[in-house]
């Protein structure tokens, strides 16, 4: 679900100056970053040099004086990453496989949003007088497979300004969840999906073992997202409050119990001190699954450590 750039939006515009267009593009990408969308921007090979104003492309305008330095560098770095969408070795050709596919939008052949249509992806565009805010773009796919020809139409959400991402936040998160098929993929993509979380060795093994078909798997994604969001929104001096999930702390009786207490001594992620874990969210699927977590604060930033993801553990109140 890597974001792709609609190359047809890279056109001259006399209404929005390059600085405004680049700022909106950066804001849109950062809004997608916050939801856990992969932090890349796939584009056609010449995207950086297509004329958007005065005969110059994004590569030039990103480093001009009237463009915020950090914003310009951010967009330029995203555009410089391979693989590209077009070409015989590009991402569109890989998605075609043995088929031949032509994608059109408003009668024009498209590559970027054509790939988004094929892969249920995310598409962004540089704003212009023609399109100053996001919209749903109808993409016609004409597929040739041997002697057969098939036509279909796919609606692709196109994001231009940051508020477009917020409007379709639920759809984006749902698509992200669909792209995570099992625990191994979840662990692999954890840094992009939940950058404020760190898994301890036991939690990592437990998550990697999930097949994706378990009753708790989709719930686990929701709980991890709530913890990650709470860490992102945490303000120094205020309590850590995961919203949308049920959570609590163990009782002192359980933590100090000779048998039940040590059962909560899960290994911490690398670089963090050992501890007896207490706080946990409560998943309703399976055998009352739990996610044990601990919050670390450094330089006004919160990081959520996860030590255990598994069945309900016995306690003084519920000896099992």
**For 155-191, what is each residue's pLDDT tens digit?**
999 999 999 999 999 989 888 888 899 999 999 999 9
10-19 pLDDT, tens digit per residue, is 999 988 999 9
pLDDT at 99 over 80: no
Q: Who contacts 70 (Cβ-Cβ below 8 Å, separation ≥6)?
A: none
All residues at 6 or more sequence positions from 25 whose CB lies less than 8 Å from its CB, including other chains: 75, 124, 126, 127
d(CA 167, CA 157): 11
Residue 147 has pLDDT above 90, yes or no: no
pLDDT at 81: 82
Residues in the chain: 320
pLDDT at 177: 85
What's the per-residue H, E or C state across 105-158? ECCEECCHHHHHHHHCCCEECCCCCCCCCCEEEEEEEEEEECCEEEEEEEEEEE
- Which range has highest mean pLDDT (69-78, 87-96, 213-222)? 69-78
Alpha-carbon distance 216 to 220, whole Å?
A: 6
The pLDDT tens digits of the residues spanning 199-229 come to: 999 999 999 999 999 888 988 999 999 999 9
CB 127 within 8 A of CB 133: yes
Cα–Cα distances in Å, from 229 out to 183, 232, 242? 20, 5, 7
**Does residue 146 carry a pLDDT above 70?**
no
The dihedral built from the CA positions of residue 148, 149, 152 and 158, taken in this order, carries a sign that is positive
Q: CA-to-CA distance for 291 and 248, rounded, in angstroms? A: 11
| Reduced DSSP (H G I as helix, E B as strand, rest coil) percent helix, strand, coil of the chain, to 5 | 35, 20, 45
User: 83 preceded by cis ω (within 30°)?
Assistant: yes
Residue whose C-alpha is closest to residue 309's, from 320, 297, 286, 180? 286
């Amino acid at each position: 679900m890597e974001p792709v750039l609609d190359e047809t939006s890279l056109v001259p515009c006399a209404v929005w100056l390059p600085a405004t267009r680049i700022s909106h593009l950066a804001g849109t990408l950062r809004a997608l970053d916050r939801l856990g969308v992969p932090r890349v921007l796939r584009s056609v090979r010449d995207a950086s040099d297509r004329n958007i104003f005065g005969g110059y492309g994004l590569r030039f305008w990103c480093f001009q004086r009237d463009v915020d330095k950090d914003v310009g560098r951010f967009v330029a770095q995203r555009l410089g990453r391979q693989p590209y969408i077009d070409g015989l070795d590009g991402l569109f050709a890989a998605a075609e496989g043995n088929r031949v596919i032509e994608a059109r939008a408003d009668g024009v052949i498209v590559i970027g949003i054509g790939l988004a249509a094929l892969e249920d992806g995310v598409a962004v565009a540089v704003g212009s007088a023609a399109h100053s805010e996001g919209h749903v773009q109808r993409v016609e796919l004409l597929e040739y497979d041997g002697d057969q020809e098939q036509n279909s139409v796919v609606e692709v959400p196109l994001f231009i300004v940051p508020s477009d991402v917020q409007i379709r936040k639920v759809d984006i998160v749902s698509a992200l969840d669909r792209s995570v098929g099992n625990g191994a993929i979840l662990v692999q993509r954890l840094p992009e999906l939940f950058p404020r979380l760190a898994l301890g060795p036991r939690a990592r093994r437990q998550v990697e073992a999930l097949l994706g078909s378990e009753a708790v798997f989709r719930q686990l994604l929701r709980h991890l997202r709530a913890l990650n969001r709470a860490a992102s929104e945490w303000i120094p001096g205020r309590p850590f409050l995961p919203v949308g999930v049920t959570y609590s702390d163990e009782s002192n009786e359980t933590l100090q119990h000779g048998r039940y207490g040590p059962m909560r001594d899960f290994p911490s992620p690398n670089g963090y001190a050992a501890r007896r874990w207490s706080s946990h969210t409560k998943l309703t699927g399976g055998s009352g699954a739990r996610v044990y977590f601990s919050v670390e604060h450094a330089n006004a930033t919160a990081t959520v450590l996860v030590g255990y993801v598994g069945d309900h553990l016995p306690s003084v109140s519920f000896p099992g």
